[in-house]
Amino acid sequence: MVTAVALLASLLATTAIAGDSGLDAAIGKALFERPWVPAPSSTRANDGLGPLFDARSCSACHSGAGRGATALDASGRPEGIGLVLSLFRTDGAGDPVYGHRLETMTLPGVPAEGEIGVTVEQGRRFPHAGSLGYGPLDPATHMSLRAAPDLRGRGKLEQVDDATILALEDPDDRNGDGVRGRARRLAQAEGGSSIGRFGWKASHATLASQTSEAFQLDLGLSTPLRPEPWGDCTAEQAACRNAPHGRDAEGEPEISPEIVDRIVVYLRSLRVPATEPDRRGAKLFAATGCVACHRPSLPTGEGGTVALFTDVLLHDMGPGLADAGDAPGVAASEWRTAPLAGLSRALARGDGLLHDGRATNVAQAVRWHDGEAAGARTRFEALDAGDRRALVDYVSSL
């Protein structure tokens, strides 16, 4: 009998020759949804999970390639696995013992890192780490709660030229609207820089980079860009470093470049469901100044447009939304403009908005906006009740 893994391997070989983008996307979707298992398994093609991980599949956090669940239970613990706890220091390094992420799952024989807890004060979510398996975090380590972002349509941002993004920068506020914005320039190993497009802090210029980080931190699986077979285990976690993994004797990563490529093809193929335009809402969206950051569309290098409602620039959003600390290339209060396309599905599912899921609706999210967005928030509050409702309904329908 032909196993599912053998069939998958056959399909990978076939598409490598045929170059069928539709079939590549279908295989990428299957890989995105498949559960990975710990090594050693009956076949190397599906093992290597862990030793530390937050989920067993990509779709576990991104159901339907959408936003992750952000609800908390009565004790302040995440109810699902759509929230993760990022660990970082001002020099860009992770915690010296726990690494860049507090992973909540582990393999047998490997001590667990801990649990995510959240304290809510005046609507703001303050994360903390509980039941730590390797002692306390380093005092210089910052914690940040992050929601798994919606992936639908986001791959189209690769089609937007660097020059287009750079032309939107206004760090000196030349037009006097209070909105500045700057592109995040990411250093490249071969020299030069690239422009960040993906992630809450615009940390990735390409889908391949973002996907590779997710494999490493979320699943503990190595890729050509992230070749460490132990994932986020640090040198201080000996049992974790020595646990079985799926890397072969030749040192090939657990996730081949072909697998990464097909997941990227799948992500590029995703579309945001179309919505009926609401002219009144669109005019209010523009009049309040929301379009200064949430640009309805961006031109692509091929002559088309990407309609995601973002400028992919970093903006200072004020102290209420500030991260726990600065990191290289990005300040604590700076966030990449979150795309609004697909927001209607997140609201229908009851997923919270903003980077940590604290806002339950659009009006709450707007009221957390400060810094460069303070003017737009003030204009939003100055609308009469009918116009405010029309604007909220418009954004909620995207």
Q: What is the DSSP string of 82-99?
A: SEEEEEE-TTS--BTTTB
pLDDT at residue 1 tops 50: no
Under 8 Å between Cβ of 364 and 320: no
pLDDT in tens, 110-122: 999 999 999 999 9
pLDDT bin (cut points 50, 70, 90) of residue 269 is: very high
pLDDT in tens, 273-296: 777 779 999 999 999 999 999 999
Confidence of residue 2 (pLDDT cuts 50, 70, 90): very low
Give percent of the chain with pLDDT exceeding 70. Answer: 91
Q: Which of 14-18, 41-45, 93-97, 262-266 has the lowest mean pLDDT?
A: 14-18
pLDDT bin (cut points 50, 70, 90) of residue 311 is very high
Secondary structure of residue 154 in the 3-state scheme: helix
Q: Is 171 helix (H, G, I), strand (E, B) or coil?
A: coil
Largest interatomic CA distance in the chain: 69
Residue 308 backbone zone (phi > 0: left; psi -120 to 50: alpha; other: beta): alpha
Q: Would you place residue 7 in the very low, low, confident or very high pLDDT band (cuts 50, 70, 90)? A: very low
Q: Is the pLDDT of residue 15 over 50?
A: no
For residues 373 and 281, give the distance between their C-alpha atoms in angstroms, rounded to a whole number.
Answer: 19
> In angstroms, rounded to a whole number, what is the distance separating the alpha carbons of residues 53 and 35?
12
pLDDT tens per residue, range 360-387: 999 999 999 999 999 999 999 999 999 9
Beta bridge partners of 34: none
Q: How far apart are CA 295 and CA 306, in angstroms?
A: 10
The whole-number pLDDT of residue 19 equals 53
Which phi and psi (to 5°) does residue 375 adopt?
-65, -45
Residue 216 CB contacts under 8 Å (≥ 6 apart), including other chains = 222, 223, 226, 228, 231, 232
Look at residue 16 in the predicted model and tell me its pLDDT: 47
* pLDDT given at position 248: 66
Radius of gyration of the chain measured on its C-alpha atoms: 21
Contact 52, 229 (CB under 8 A): no
Distance CA 395, CA 284 (A): 10
